[in-house]
């Protein structure tokens, strides 16, 4: 069930380009599924639109109780405010929200492709897939090394981890589009999960289809409300009925089958 609560900041730590923020969120932890997000309201009285964040990690009992971690890239008003909150501060939190990643019924090989902070959403997914016996490979991408999310536990349980950066400061120099065909081949994946900018997701959807793999993409469209009320996060997508619809990224997504999105219209 989705809950709105006043969540306390339990820890906040700078890691590379990101601020990892730990929030007390009992209700979110119990019902969270990988691919869900949380929505945060700013209380500065000026910004009305809420901000959505991927859940990077859930812990049902840490030394802080039930918590979630989010990975914030400080940039505009909302993310800078959130990243700067001291321990003990409160935020208006709604979650878990959105349709999660669909997980395979059989233990098939999976490739997880994440770029920048959006890769945060793939770490809990990797854990669940490994628990289900799926061989998991990771392709992590970012512009620079300090934007590659680190996740030691997941790296250890993965079959293979490929890193590419735009400037070559970590892993190979290049983009997801360049590294993907090789990673797909090596992993033998029949399902590809991806999170990142929409140009990357478009490439993933295309390359996956060429290789005969299913793709599940976690879309990021500005979400003014996050809860399905405003119809401000419209995505052009083809439904089960083969008819093109305009659906809400927050309510009908944010995870979609890559072949369902009308990328040219996005």
Chain residues in the site for ligand FES (CB under 6 A): 223-226, 228-233, 248-251
229 in contact with other proteins (CB under 8 A): yes
- In angstroms, how far is CA 108 from the centroid of its own chain? 21
Residues 183-222 binding other proteins (CB under 8 A) are: 222
Cis peptide leading into residue 222 (ω within 30°): no
Biggest CA-to-CA distance, the chain:
51
HSE of 214 in the Cβ direction (CA atoms, 13 Å)?
A: 13
E-assigned strand segments in 42-144:
51-54, 57-62, 65-72, 90-97, 110-115, 136-142
Rg (CA), the chain: 18
Among 8, 28, 35, 54, binds ligand FAD (CB under 6 A): 54
Among 181, 182, 210, 246, interactor with other proteins by CB under 8 A: 246
User: How far is residue 168's CA from residue 202's CA, in Å, rounded to a whole number?
Assistant: 23
94 binds, among ligand FES, other proteins, ligand FAD, none (CB under 5 to 8 A by kind): other proteins
CB of 38 to ligand FAD, least distance (A): 9
Q: Does 234 bind other proteins (CB under 8 A)?
A: yes
| List of residues contacting other proteins (CB under 8 A) | 1-2, 4, 41, 45-50, 92, 94, 222, 224-225, 227-232, 234-236, 246, 251, 265-266
| List of residues contacting ligand FAD (CB under 6 A) | 37, 49, 51-54, 70-73, 75-80, 117, 120, 220-224, 254
């Amino acid at each position: 069930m989705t809950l709105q609560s006043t969540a306390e900041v339990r820890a906040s730590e700078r890691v590379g380009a990101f601020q990892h923020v730990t929030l007390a969120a009992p209700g979110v932890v119990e019902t969270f599924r990988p691919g869900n997000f949380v929505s945060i309201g700013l209380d500065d009285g000026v910004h009305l639109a809420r901000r959505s964040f991927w859940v990077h990690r859930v812990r049902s009992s840490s030394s802080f109780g039930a918590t979630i971690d989010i990975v914030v890239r400080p940039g505009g008003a909302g993310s800078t405010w959130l990243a700067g909150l001291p321990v003990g501060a409160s935020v208006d939190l709604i979650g878990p929200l959105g349709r999660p990643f669909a997980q395979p019924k059989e233990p098939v090989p999976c490739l997880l492709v994440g770029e920048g902070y959006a890769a945060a959403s793939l770490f809990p997914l990797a854990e669940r897939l490994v628990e289900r016996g799926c061989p998991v490979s990771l392709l992590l991408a970012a512009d620079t090394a300090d934007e590659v999310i680190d996740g030691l536990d997941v790296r250890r349980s993965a079959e293979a981890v490929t890193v590419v950066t735009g400037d070559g400061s970590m892993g190979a120099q290049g983009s997801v589009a360049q590294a993907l065909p090789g990673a797909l081949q090596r992993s033998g994946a029949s399902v590809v999960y991806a999170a990142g900018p929409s140009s990357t997701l478009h490439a993933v959807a295309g390359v996956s289809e060429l290789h005969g793999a299913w793709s599940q993409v976690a879309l990021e469209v500005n979400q003014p409300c996050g809860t399905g009320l405003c119809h401000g996060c419209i995505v052009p997508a083809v439904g089960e009925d083969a008819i093109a619809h305009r659906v809400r990224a927050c309510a009908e997504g944010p995870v979609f089958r890559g072949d369902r999105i009308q990328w040219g219209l996005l």
